[in-house]
Structure 1
């Protein structure tokens, strides 16, 4: 999506300086979705015509990555799962469907694309990114941690056994007509996904997932589509549309990704509801403090070491004041909360890694 490890180091450093939600960003809980189990055989043809797809709910329409503006074209997704695969079906409205990239693991978002980001255990480390264009060209990669913390990108990693298909509602790369859009259907094997979590399918549990769509203004070069350039010869900025807003032009802040709950019930029989756990709201507040620490460190070359200076106003969730301990050490710091809602201790460190412990 927006940032690629293949871009220049200078661009990377500027990106790190400018990215990140303001430390004063009001907490907004990410969106959620219930993905139901299916017993139906799903044919990966890009059309989503099975009965299970018909009964599955759509996500809310994508919005601008920064959360406010309504995109020019509609994008929405459905999800299902069974014992072998996690399924995705997406529809992307687009009057001019075009794509040029045909080599796997090239930078797909240089075309209009559809993207999936998956963090199984929700610690913002060890997550997966997947992109595809309208020619059904794929790019899948594995990140050890976000770019903001200097994460490594495992570009040779593949989702082994993945099945994908594209259906064009119109004609691709034809400049003489108006299309309705394109749809994608994806089956990701659990065997390739659960390695980044606790090695089991999250039945009646949730993962952190988000979706992105990159869309470019285009120009024609001898009846061939290409990204539009400005008067200075540089490409115009892309549009970034997402399911759950990131509040900044950066998909690599996994704490903002949505919650997908994997129901063991099929849709027609289900009475399932999913409510974001209150500990997740504490976690969002901890990441707000993390961004405040990072901003302070960039400006002052040191961390805030006093909890009174870091936490200037009470943190209250569901009527309970959350007590945050700031533990400074030689390598940085930890933010620690004994949750008033569970028996868990929540810990966020200076490198952005999140973990929980069970209190005895």
Structure 2
């Protein structure tokens, strides 16, 4: 990421923080309704998936899809359909997104550009004391950040992890976007990449051509368990997971357009609604339970 983009990101986050400052006060904890957080069983697969951005393999056809994403703040239905699914094997966590979008657009092509300024989909994977943020647009341009809660940074040894040291150039304090979390500050590392990550996007239509009608776009991700192991600190989780292990993950979509009034549309949609304009609330993430049962027929 260029220094210009990095500081642009910091400036934009500052704007979001200023906008959300008033809403941060007097919010309940957690801001979401915990009785409505979705629960999902991720089944195992027998053969690795070859990523091409088209989740049309047998495993994706048989895997259970999420419900349609709802508004991030209000929890109401959204104008276009967005769904996700999760499967896994001993090497990778696989995630797929199906995104309906009649006019697919994107502008950012440089890695770690502020992808949330485009229409994108996002994935957060949380541990007890840290979480990983991933974003991708329809060009396939990605953005990654790793966050560690300040109260665990030294005690859990994150300061000794490569690229997470106290003097990293792109390390900064992060207090959330639209919600003041009672746990306090996080350290964000904008220089951190998930090693071995695989991504692919397929567009069913034409990008940036508004005089035709598109169907949308799809995404396939493969996240190596060996790299996600950093999220198992201070927990009894393992990578790959054991049968019955439960992780917290967030799946969302952000749009630069909104449905016309009188509809109520924040522009952010998610599998699990957060009740606030802030994706950085792990207590509101979807529950993903891992099963040793296979998606494919015996």
Indicate if the aligned counterparts of 1:19 and 1:249 stay in contact, CA closer than 8 A.
Answer: no
The residue that corresponds to 2:146 in the other structure is: 142
Indicate if the aligned counterparts of 1:20 and 1:248 stay in contact, CA closer than 8 A.
Answer: no
Indicate if the aligned counterparts of 2:34 and 2:284 stay in contact, CA closer than 8 A.
Answer: no
Structure 1: segments with no counterpart, 5+ residues: 219-236, 271-360
The residue that corresponds to 2:154 in the other structure is: none
> How many aligned residue pairs are there?
246
The residue that corresponds to 1:130 in the other structure is: 134
C-alpha distance 8-181 of structure 1, shift in aligned 2 (>3 A): closer
Write the mapping of 1:192-341 to structure 2, written as runs, cut at 5 A.
192-198=227-233, 200-204=239-243, 205-217=245-257, 239-268=267-296
Indicate if the aligned counterparts of 1:35 and 1:262 stay in contact, CA closer than 8 A.
Answer: yes
- TM-score, normalised via structure 2 length: 0.76
- Structure 1: how far apart are the matches of 2:86 and 2:119? 22
Match of 1:183 among 208, 215, 218: 218
TM-superposed CA distance for 1:69, in Å, is 2.1
- Structure 2: how far apart are the matches of 1:253 and 1:49? 32
- Structure 1: how far apart are the matches of 2:26 and 2:218? 32
Deviations 1:244-296 (A, max 9, x none): 110111111111111001111102569xxxxxxxxxxxxxxxxxxxxxxxxxx
Question: What RMSD in Å do the two structures reach over aligned CA positions?
Answer: 2.3
The structure having more radius of gyration, on CA atoms, is: 1
Residue 12 of structure 2 aligns to a residue whose secondary structure is: coil
- Structure 2: how far apart are the matches of 1:256 and 1:27? 7
- Structure 2: how far apart are the matches of 1:86 and 1:20? 36
TM-superposed CA distance for 1:171, in Å, is 1.0
The residue that corresponds to 1:274 in the other structure is: none
- Structure 2: how far apart are the matches of 1:134 and 1:168? 7
Indicate if the aligned counterparts of 2:199 and 2:221 stay in contact, CA closer than 8 A.
Answer: yes
- Structure 1: how far apart are the matches of 2:224 and 2:28? 38
Deviations 1:157-187 (A, max 9, x none): 0011111111111111112210010000111
